[in-house]
Amino acid sequence: MESRLALTVDGEEHTIEVDTRTTLLDALRDRIGATAPKKGCDHGQCGSCTVIEDGRRVTTCLSLAVAHDGASIVTASGLSDGDLGLHPMQQAFIEQDAFQCGYCTPGQICSAIGMLAEIADGSPSFVTEDLADPPTLTDAEIRERLSGNLCRCGAYVNILAAVRQATQHSDKGAA
């Protein structure tokens, strides 16, 4: 069965017909040609497919495309507009060498941006000590909240450093 749906991806509108079994990730990759969301597991276990949908980080392999009709999606390719250069998080990933093969990287970056927004919103995590106060940006909070994004190259030390750099050098840490 095919279904028609509209998606805005990195500011561009697309209307596509998809097999209703198609995941949002496959629709982005196979139908729209987006290369930033990666498929690392297809089961919600690695975070490589993370994008920002309506301001929140989501793993696109875990839901069907037809459930996202009308959604607005930002992938790592759409974080910066070409003229202004890179998003501070992307710049920090390059400067801190927060990746090796780069396959987990677009997902890590979207996830890090979404994570900072969650902290700014006051959402607690497993390691938040005091649930009454808003969470603070400790190393433990960053590590915990980015633990849904696997990096088999083992770039975690530098990912933490990059997130730190992005939050220090930028007041627009959250997109």
Partner 1 sequence: MTNAIGTSTARVDGIAKVTGTAQYAYEHPFTDPVYLHPVQATVARGAVDTFRSDKAESVDGVLAVLSPWNAPRLADVSDPELSLLQGPEVRFRGQIIGAVIATTPEIARHAQSLVEVEYTTDDHDTVLRADHPDRYPEDDPQTIGDDVDEKLSSAQLVIDQRYSTPEEHNTPMEPHTAVALWDPAEQHLTLTTATQGPHSVVDTLAPLLGLEPQQLRVVSPHVGGGFGSKAAPHGHDLVAALGALALPGRAVKYAVTRQQGFVFVGYRSPTRQHLRLGARCDGTLTAIDHESFSQVSPAGTFSESASSISASMYAADARRLVHHLVPLDVPPPHWMRAPGEAPGMFALEVAMDELAVAAGIDPVELRIRNDPDRDPATGNRWTSRRLVECLHEGARQFGWRDRDPHPGIRRDGEWLIGTGMASATYPHVMSPGTKVTIRHDGGGRYTVRTGAADIGTGAWTTLTLISADALRVSRERVTMEIGDSSLPTATVAGGSSGTTSWGSAIVATAEAFRRQHGDDPEAGAQTTGGVSEDPLAEGYTAASFGAHFVEVRVHPGTGEVRVPRMRGVFSIGRVINPRTVRSQLLGGMVMGLSMALHEKSVRDPRFGHVVTQDLATYHVPVNADIEDMDASWLDETDELATPMGSRGAGEIGIVGSAAAIANAVYHATGTRVRDLPITPPALVRD
Residues 6+ apart with CB under 8 A from 47: 40, 59, 104, 107, 108, 111, 148, 149, 150
62 makes contact with partner 1 (CB under 8 A)? no
Terminal Cα distance for the chain, rounded: 36
From 36-44, 68-76, 77-85, 164-172, span contacting ligand FES (CB under 6 A): 36-44
Stretch that binds partner 1, among 15-23, 66-74, 130-138, 164-172 (CB under 8 A): 15-23
The answer to whether 134 contacts ligand FES (rule: CB under 6 A) is: no
- Shortest distance in whole angstroms from residue 70 CB to partner 1: 22
- Among 4, 6, 11, 35, which residue sits at the site for partner 1 (rule: CB under 8 A)? 35
d(CA 153, CA 103): 9
Radius of gyration of the chain (CA): 16
Q: How many residues does the chain have?
A: 175
Measure the CA–CA gap between 38 and 1, rounded to whole angstroms. Answer: 25
Query: Of the listed pieces 11-19, 86-94, 99-107, 139-147, which binds ligand FES according to CB under 6 A?
Result: 99-107
Separation of alpha carbons 98 and 104, rounded Å: 10
Which does residue 149 bind out of ligand FES, partner 1, none, counting CB within 5 to 8 angstroms by kind? Answer: partner 1
Paired sense of beta strands 2-9 and 12-19, if any: antiparallel
Backbone angles phi, psi at 151, to 5 degrees: -130, 105
Q: Cβ closer to partner 1: 41 or 117?
A: 41
Interface residues with partner 1 (CB under 8 A)?
A: 19, 21-22, 26, 29-30, 33-43, 45-46, 48, 75-77, 79-80, 86, 90, 93-95, 97, 99-106, 109, 140, 142-144, 146-160
